[in-house]
Homo-oligomer: A and B are copies of this chain.
Amino acid sequence: MRAQPTYRHEVLAVVLRVRAGHLEVLLWRRARDPFAGRWVLPGGDLGPDERLGASLARHLAEKVDVREIAHLEQLETRSDPDRDPRYRVLATAYLGLVPSDVEPAVPPDTAWQGVERLPEPGFDHGSIIDSARARLRAKLSYTTIGFALAPAQFTIAELREVYVAALGHQVSATNLQRVLLRRGAIEQTPARLASSASGGRPAAVYRFRGRQLEVTDAFPAFRPRGAHHH
């Protein structure tokens, strides 16, 4: 039996957050060729006896405080032999989400970049970011994944801003509140926010009821009534 070929394997993180109404991705500026000066996803090589998720946490720890990542899930594995011009390396990408109320300190070569009008990233990282955005948009609709982007406490107006930025289309504050309340995803807290200098009714403060991803709207079609879970 002849020896089997082996391959380098790297992990990449698409870490997203919403800031000032814009969806941003954590990128890192490459110092050397190939793609010197271009922005790329943080990550690094898989270590011996290391799982992919653990490896990602280890590499991300050099860039951000990993405890601030509220949700992490595997996206996909890229295998194009030419995806890195230097050598063959497989890459498994993850999607990570950071709440908008934490401000992770990042090293000088690292920055949050708005995903709209992003300068073309190096390697195949641009299309990986596209995959991550598509996954996020889909999951916002039928899971409680919003908890990972929203601050711990928020008004409906603030939450709306997060959803608008992540979904890329307008969302009505009224309907957002009612859908998430009916599904049991968020709840009102006793707190009230002071109204702004320009007046207006003080906003109620809400929070997500869980810090775990939950599927609230599975199998929308073909489901007999008895199978409901509300």
Contact = CB atoms under 8 A, between A and B. Distances in A.
A5 interface: yes
Nearest to A51: B79
A70 interface: no
Interface in A200-222: 217-222
A137 interface: yes
Contacts of A5: 8, 45-48
A171 B222 contact: yes
A229 to B, nearest CB: 12
Interface size class of A (residues with CB under 8 A): 35 or more
How many copies of the shown chain assemble into the complex? Answer: 2
A90 B51 CA distance: 9
A52 B78 CA distance: 8
A175 B137 CA distance: 28
Interface of A: 4-9, 45-53, 74, 76-77, 79-81, 88, 90, 92, 137-138, 140-142, 163, 167, 169-172, 175-176, 179, 217-224, 227
Contact of A46 (B79, B80, B218, B220): B79
A80 B50 CA distance: 8
Contact of A52 (B74, B77, B217): B77
Contacts of A141: 218-223
Contact of A222 (B4, B79, B176, B222): B176
Contacts of A227: 169
Contacts of A92: 77, 79
Given A6-B6, A141-B222, A218-B138, A76 B74 contact: yes
Closest 8 CB pairs of A and B: A6-B6, A52-B79, A77-B77, A141-B219, A51-B79, A49-B81, A171-B222, A141-B221
21 contacts: A5-B46, A5-B48, A6-B6, A6-B7, A7-B8, A7-B9, A48-B88, A49-B81, A50-B79, A51-B79, A52-B79, A79-B92, A137-B219, A138-B218, A141-B222, A169-B224, A170-B224, A171-B224, A175-B222, A179-B221, A217-B221
